[in-house]
């Protein structure tokens, strides 16, 4: 025995080193090799697969990230070129859309459609208007990051290549819809303009579902497995057993009109006067009256000649005001004693007056001219060298006309020379004061009694807003304090201390004169359909917007990603009512177990199986009715359920007017009609009946057409009149093209057997 241990004693150091090396290999080297086999598939599972291809989690995440970087690169390049990035289209970024582009790129390869490097460079040149240099492109790419790692230009352009190939494939598909046939235009026009009036008899499928027997357990489980990953949709005929995202919330509504009425009772006459005096110069100035518009009479040569040679009678008829308005020269006689001027003297006067009018004035009177009408008088000043010539011309004129001037006769208008003591030139400072005084004297305001009601309404609105703001601020402080106390209580393990009490919504509403609501677990569709706070919004800062703010819906604040509970949220609706709300609980969407969803599965199974029964009853009633009316064909109890609906058109542009995209009509009396139902209604003759399901196939209608309006001939005449304007019809054509496109995409995915192993994530 002793000899056998001698071997270990002799080589114990070497053996210890070998064991240490093996241990290192076992702990650090072996695990990666083991994970390369079995571990690789579990750590990076296949997310989506199709015939001839598959994408794993990491690959899809990288593809979506690169698409985001491509869009960022394009927007920065456009901004460098001086373009507005907010007005430019971006490539799709969601997982579903990125995978769809991969499928389109595969289809493009089959037909030989490719995008070369030259095509990519041409696209970038067109995108930037050829205003970005290569070094600028390199600088933009150098600033992009995928995580912490820099982005390679080759990876970026490969993602751009895939996007361009998919876009070109769609453009090729779209060329088949570049023109719509005349029959399509006529059909689109009828959908917009032709209305129908009908009688309907509803057969509700759910009422017949109770007679349907349930299948065995295995069939029910298989039925559940088919639709367990689908969310329920009100417009879909297929069920959905996946639990949607639900929240609980509490809200307090402040009725704006009620608060304004309460504030109005506190307003005094003194408040109105103070508001008027404070704001009258900016808010209550009288609008300046427009000057009277006079039309210039038509001129003819005879009138011009009479103007050049005025008679003595016309001079007598001239009023003193007319005379004062006209320019008068110093030393000139007016009235009957005014001498007649020769042609040469008139020309000289025109030259002198033109020269004087061209000279700038001593002070700027443009502001005074705008406020107070000022009439200027031109004085002729004698100058050396020209006085003798003018005197000579004047004497020649007088001698030629044989008119003797009376020296002792005074002129009609008093003339003050520039050098007289009575008329002195004002300084610029004095003139500015005069203009300010004339401005204030010319400024007029609306009477207080005329605007008192308007002021009262505005003050009441301001005070109501201030009151509501104060209430909401106090509520926010209380809610934040409760949220902090609850967070501390949870952090301590919910032991020892008593759970903090939440705000009592009913007591707050009673004390502050608000309307309280505490919801049950509700979905986004239920909240939106309930109106009130579901349709409210708030304006939030947004630097990317043209106006610096944007409208954020309350639904986004409550149901959006990253929203937290117990956070104060304020909003307002279109009527001006204000809301203070907070989220009390949140349940993310999830797939329930078969046991949890069993009641919904059984109900859905019964409804689907009862549809053929409802259709059979409706078809039998159509055959029974024929050309007769419902009153003749139905019993009295059945006829009470008949309702007249219409007139309504197939498509409508609703309240948005002719510029809005047409949508399917929803006439009162028809629950969620679909395109198939509308097509059947507008394809029968007057007096005939049809049987058709609504869109979710919950009601089977027996529809009897009463009349079309307008008649076919009149509609054709109208159609011929609008052939030159195809804008409305083109919007209908775009809707039809979108439907065809989605059908083509669905067919492509079906042919390639596209399968998602999890739900695709929406764009971030």
Residue spans per domain, the chain = 2-39, 49-177, 195-237+597-709, 246-265+457-587, 349-355+364-407+432-443
Tell whether the model's pLDDT for residue 412 goes beyond 50.
no
pLDDT (mean) for 195-215: 93
pLDDT (mean) for 74-94: 88
Tell whether the model's pLDDT for residue 400 goes beyond 50.
no
Report cis status (omega within 30 of 0) of the bond before 710.
Answer: yes
- Predicted confidence at residue 178, as pLDDT, reads 63
Return the minimum-mean-pLDDT range out of 16-30, 76-90, 348-362: 348-362
Q: What is the pLDDT of residues 275-317, one digit of tens each?
A: 988 988 888 887 766 666 555 555 554 554 444 444 444 434 4
Phi first, then psi: give them for residue 307, nearest 5 degrees: -65, -35
CB environment 132-166: b (16+ within 10 A), e (fewer):
beeeebeebbeebeeeeeebeeeebbebbbbbbbb
Tell whether the model's pLDDT for residue 470 goes beyond 70.
yes
Q: Which of 139, 138, 162 is nearest to 62 (CA)?
A: 162
Residues above pLDDT 90, as percent of the chain = 41
Q: What is the pLDDT of residues 89-135, one digit of tens each?
A: 888 888 899 999 999 998 898 888 899 999 999 999 999 999 999 99
CB environment 610-619: b (16+ within 10 A), e (fewer):
bbebbbeebe
**Cross-strand partners of 691:** 702
What is the H or E stretch that residue 332 is in?
A: none
Q: What is the pLDDT of residues 430-445, one digit of tens each?
A: 455 555 455 545 678 8
What stretches of 130-269 adopt beta strand conformation (E)?
145-146, 149-150, 195-204, 246-254
């Amino acid at each position: 025995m002793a000899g056998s241990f001698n071997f270990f004693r002799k080589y114990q150091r070497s053996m210890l080193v070998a064991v240490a090396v093996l241990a290192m290999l076992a702990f650090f080297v072996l695990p990666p090799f083991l994970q390369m086999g079995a571990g690789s598939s579990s750590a990076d599972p296949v997310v989506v697969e199709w015939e001839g291809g598959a994408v794993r989690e990491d690959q899809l995440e990288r593809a979506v990230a690169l698409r985001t970087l491509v869009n960022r690169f394009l927007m920065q390049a456009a901004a460098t070129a001086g373009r507005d990035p907010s007005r430019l289209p971006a490539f799709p970024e969601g997982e579903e859309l990125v995978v769809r582009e991969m499928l389109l790129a595969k289809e493009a390869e089959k037909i030989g459609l490719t995008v070369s490097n030259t095509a990519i460079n041409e696209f970038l040149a067109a995108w930037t208007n050829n205003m970005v240099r290569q070094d600028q492109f390199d600088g933009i790419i150098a600033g992009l990051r995928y995580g912490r790692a820099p982005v390679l230009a080759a990876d970026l352009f490969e993602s751009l290549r895939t996007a361009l190939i998919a876009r070109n494939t769609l453009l090729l598909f779209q060329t088949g819809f570049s023109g719509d046939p005349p029959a399509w235009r006529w059909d689109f026009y009828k959908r917009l303009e032709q209305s129908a009036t009908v009688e309907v008899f509803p057969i509700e499928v759910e009422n017949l579902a109770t007679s349907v027997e349930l299948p065995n357990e295995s069939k029910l489980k298989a039925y559940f497995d088919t639709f367990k990953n689908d969310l329920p949709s009100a417009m879909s005929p297929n069920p959905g057993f996946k639990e949607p995202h639900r929240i609980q919330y509490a809200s307090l509504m402040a009725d704006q009109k009620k608060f304004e009425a309460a504030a109005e009772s506190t307003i005094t006459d003194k408040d109105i006067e103070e508001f008027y005096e404070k704001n009258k110069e900016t808010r209550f100035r009288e609008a300046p009256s427009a000057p009277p518009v006079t039309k210039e009479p038509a001129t003819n040569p005879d009138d011009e000649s009479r103007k050049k040679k005025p008679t003595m009678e016309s001079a007598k008829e001239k009023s003193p005001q007319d005379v004062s308005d006209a320019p008068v020269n110093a030393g000139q006689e007016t009235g009957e004693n005014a001498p007649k001027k020769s042609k040469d003297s008139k020309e000289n006067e025109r030259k002198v007056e033109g020269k004087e009018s061209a000279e700038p004035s001593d002070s700027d009177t443009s502001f005074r001219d705008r406020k107070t009408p000022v009439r200027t008088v031109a004085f002729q000043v004698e100058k050396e060298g020209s006085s003798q010539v003018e005197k000579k011309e004047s004497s020649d004129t007088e001698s030629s006309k044989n008119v003797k001037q009376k020296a002792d006769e005074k002129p009609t208008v008093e003339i003050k020379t520039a050098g007289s003591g009575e008329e002195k030139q004002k300084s610029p400072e004095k003139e500015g004061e005069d203009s300010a005084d004339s401005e204030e004297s010319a400024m007029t305001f609306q009477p207080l009694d005329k605007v008192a009601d308007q002021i009262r309404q505005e003050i009441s609105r301001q005070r109501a807003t201030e009151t509501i703001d104060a209430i909401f601020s106090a509520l926010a402080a209380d809610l934040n304090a409760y949220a902090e106390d609850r967070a501390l209580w949870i952090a301590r393990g919910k032991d020892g201390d008593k759970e903090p009490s939440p705000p009592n919504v009913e007591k707050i509403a009673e004390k502050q004169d608000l309307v309280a609501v505490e919801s049950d677990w509700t979905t986004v569709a239920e909240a939106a359909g309930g109106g009130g706070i579901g349709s409210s919004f708030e304006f939030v800062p947004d630097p990317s917007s043209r106006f610096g703010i944007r409208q954020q819906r309350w639904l986004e604040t409550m149901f959006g990603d990253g929203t937290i509970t117990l956070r104060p949220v304020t909003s307002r609706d279109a009527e001006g009512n204000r809301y203070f709300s907070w989220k009390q609980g949140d349940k993310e969407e999830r797939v329930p177990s078969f046991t949890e969803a069993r009641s919904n599965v059984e109900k859905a199974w019964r409804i689907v199986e009862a549809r053929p029964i409802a259709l059979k009853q409706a078809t039998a009633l159509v055959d029974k009715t024929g050309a007769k009316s419902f009153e003749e064909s139905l019993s009295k109890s059945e006829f009470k359920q008949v309702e007249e609906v219409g007139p309504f058109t197939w498509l409508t542009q609703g309240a948005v007017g002719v510029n809005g995209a047409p949508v399917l009509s929803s006439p009162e009396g028809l629950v969620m009609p679909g395109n198939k139902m509308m097509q059947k209604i507008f394809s029968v003759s007057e007096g005939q009946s049809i049987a058709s399901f609504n869109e979710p196939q919950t009601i089977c209608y027996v529809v009897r057409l009463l009349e079309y309006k307008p008649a076919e001939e009149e509609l054709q005449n109208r159609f011929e009149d609008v052939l030159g304007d195809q804008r409305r019809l083109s919007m209908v054509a775009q809707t039809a093209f979108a439907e065809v496109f989605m059908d083509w995409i669905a067919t492509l995915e079906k042919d390639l057997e596209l399968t998602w192993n999890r739900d695709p994530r929406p764009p971030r």
